[in-house]
Amino acid sequence: MNRKNSEYLYEKAKTLIPGGVNSPVRAFKSVNDTPFYVKRAEDAFLIDEDGNRYLDYVMSWGAIILGHAHMGVLEEVRQAILSGTTFGACHRYEIELAERIREAFPSIEMVRLTSSGTEATMSAIRLARGYTSKENIIKFKGCYHGHVDALLVKAGSGLATFGIPDSKGIISDYASHTHIADFNHIESVYRIIENDKNIACVIVEPIMGNMGVILPDMPFLKQLEALCKENNIILIFDEVITGFRVTYGGAQHLFGIKPDITCLGKIIGGGFPIGAFGGRADIMNNLAPIGDVYQAGTLSGNPVAVRAGIYVLDYLKAHPSIYTEMDDFLTILEKEVINLAHIHKIPYKINKITGMWTGFFTDKDIRNYEDASKSDKFMYERFFKLMLHEGIFFAPSPFEASFLSLKHKGDELNHTLKSFDRVFRDLKRS
């Protein structure tokens, strides 16, 4: 596969942009490759600067659900731009998007728009601290909530210890307010709370998507919800990925949980930068300008992003069969791929839920960070490169989710299964 133009652009980018990329995983460093450069996108495909066509299972990291360059979205955006690209002032579409989010999430009584998921999680944590007058937080090993200082931490020497910085530039004192617990292990949360009465909030991805897809054990989230209520701790669901992807609304619908605050992003912007956080009115009313917790953003509620998001949410609500179709796609894919793995004697497990999935090179079930970290990263590197040669783009990291769209249909499924057959055969030989 010729990628000469992409290689030229990457070398030029490295002289202008740190590492040549504006988000680290795009550098393909974890798979020891160099990135291709997208020229355009359509339906379920990306086309690069060399004319190569890739079946896309990244879908802008979950933000695209109707397919690339969906004509309805494009027309809505065209109409929005004709009225102006940004106002720095109030407009009615902010209200319309807020109404749709509140209708879809019974746990959300009020919502504040931001420009990214990172802004949403950062602001939600600040709000939880302001509301409770407590300082410390709990997150789960392997959950990613954006590049917020307090959240870029890893586990210390024990389950109930504070985190230490996972990035230079984060002061230890700031990170020391973050405890690390284990996903799907409620005892790790109990232990932290028993030893620290200064916990403002617990933040969690109800379905992990940033260590690959990892589903919660059935009692885990219910136990977490009850534990937070008993101890007056704010429960924050990070549904930036899962919101409107796993069902209309989010994962909290599937599991019957009512978090105090929910963070959203990706799909609610229809392919444009956006974020949001919302929850109980008595909590949200602590935000400025009526409360003492400050949060602001010049481009928050950008009219183009908001109108694109409204179109997508309305489309999803009017076409609930999309979720059934994605679920059917993944059911067939899992069955056939696992069968191919057995035939070729490749250790492979799939974790999936409607609209998102991850394949792990292991023969063990994946229930948490430790399980995922033991999967074969070298095998994934070879898999990634072989699939790219087949014209299929998976995430350039073994610890990410793959995503479907409305445009992933029968032809795309057949292409994927034939490629898995050839790639597994090649992996077995190497």
pTM above 0.85, yes or no: yes
Q: What is the pLDDT of residue 171?
A: 78
What does the alpha-carbon distance between residue 350 and residue 361 come to, in Å, rounded to a whole number?
A: 9
**pLDDT 10s digit of each residue in the chain, 430 long?**
899 999 999 999 999 999 999 999 899 999 999 999 999 999 999 999 999 999 999 999 999 999 999 999 999 999 999 999 999 999 999 999 999 999 999 999 999 999 999 999 999 999 999 999 999 999 999 888 988 887 777 533 233 334 455 678 877 777 789 999 999 999 999 999 999 999 999 999 999 998 899 999 989 999 999 999 999 999 999 999 999 999 999 999 999 999 999 999 999 999 999 999 999 999 999 999 999 999 999 999 999 999 999 999 999 999 999 999 999 999 999 999 999 999 999 999 999 999 999 999 999 999 998 999 999 999 999 999 999 999 999 999 999 999 999 999 999 999 999 999 999 999 987 6
The active-site residue out of 238, 311, 352, 380 is 238
- Regarding whether 325 and 279 lie in a shared domain, the answer is no
The pLDDT assigned to 156 comes to: 31
pLDDT of residue 154: 59
- CA dist list (Å): 413 to 50, 326, 416: 25, 11, 5
Residue that finishes a domain, picked among 318, 350, 367: 318
Task: State whether 268 and 362 are in the same domain.
Answer: no
- Domain endpoint, select from 283, 318, 353: 318
Q: Does residue 289 have a cis bond before it (omega within 30 degrees)?
A: yes
- Cβ-based neighbour number of residue 350 at 10 Å: 19
Looking at the 3D structure of the chain, how many domains does it have?
2
- Predicted pLDDT at 165: 59
Domain that holds residue 194: 71-318
φ/ψ of 367, rounded to 5, equals -120, -10
Q: Measure the CA–CA gap between 106 and 243, rounded to whole angstroms.
A: 13
Catalytic site includes residue 197? no
Among the three residues 318, 340, 373, which one is the final residue of a domain in this structure?
Answer: 318
Whether 187 and 263 share a structural domain: yes
**Domain check: are 109 and 239 in the same one?**
yes
Q: Are residues 206 and 86 in the same domain?
A: yes
Q: Is 10 a catalytic residue?
A: no
- pLDDT at position 158 is 33
Q: For residue 231, give both structure tokens.
A: 């101890």
Secondary structure percentages of the chain, helix, strand, coil, to 5: 45, 15, 40
The whole-number pLDDT of residue 126 equals: 97
Say what the pLDDT of residue 167 is: 76
Cβ-contact 302, 272 below 8 angstroms: yes
Q: Is 144 a catalytic residue?
A: yes
Does 150 share its domain with 249?
Answer: yes
| Phi and psi at residue 334, to the nearest 5° | -60, -50
Here the CATH number for the domain that contains residue 331 is 3.90.1150.10
Residue 153 shares a structural domain with residue 239: yes
Is residue 130 located within the same domain as residue 36?
Answer: no
| Together in a domain, 418 and 277 | no
360 and 419 share one domain:
yes
Q: What is the CATH number of the domain that holds 220?
A: 3.40.640.10
- Name residue 410's amino acid: G
Q: What local confidence, expressed as pLDDT, does residue 155 receive?
A: 36
Per-residue pLDDT at 160 = 31
Catalytic residue among 134, 139, 141, 266: 266
Assess whether 263 and 327 both reside in one domain. no
Q: What is the pLDDT of residue 303?
A: 98
Shortest CA distance to 1 belongs to which of 382, 389, 381, 415? Answer: 389
Contact present, 182 and 369 (Cβ < 8 Å): yes
Residues 159 and 12 in one domain: no
Q: Which residue among the candidates 93, 144, 323, 380 is catalytic per the annotation?
A: 144
